[in-house]
Amino acid sequence: IASGRGASHATFGGGDFGLDRPDARSDVRGDVDIMSDTMGVDFGPYLQRVIFAVKMHWYNLIPESARPPIMKKGKLAIEFAILKDGRVAGLQLAATSGDDALDRAARGGITDSNPFPPLPPEFRGQYLQLRFKFYYNPDRGEIE
């Protein structure tokens, strides 16, 4: 994860952090963009913890329609801020998958993780603005 000004990016699809996938034949993954100024703080270790929590909760909520044999496809984006104390604020669906069940599961991955750990003490900002992208069974090359 790059630090400084501008958007940074991390993927949470490859490694499974020791978690069981919802089904070995399904493909669910995502990534996260930092939308606010990091003020030079390296958020890599912090984001690993955030991504782990969201992924763990999201995997538990993935609807049957996204699992074999149906394998419904969908992609969506959710934006939110993490306040200094780790609480989630301003959660909003930035792009819908068009399927309420898929959108709800992704949103639940975030809300069920609330609160996150407090932001790193060296970060002087009031919040960290993030955009999480969730992909259900994406086509090859579809993940941005």
d(Cα 82, Cα 68) in Å, to the nearest integer? 34
pLDDT digits (tens, 9 = 90+) for 21-52: 455 555 677 889 999 999 999 999 999 999 99
CB atoms within 10 A of CB 20: 9
* pTM, 2 dp: 0.83
pLDDT computed for residue 15 by the predictor:
41
Q: Which of 11, 9, 6, 30 is nearest to 136 (CA)?
A: 30
What residues are paired with 88 via a beta bridge?
82
Element (H, E) at 94: strand 88-95
Lowest mean pLDDT among 1-5, 41-45, 70-74, 135-139: 1-5
What's the whole-number average pLDDT of the chain? Answer: 85
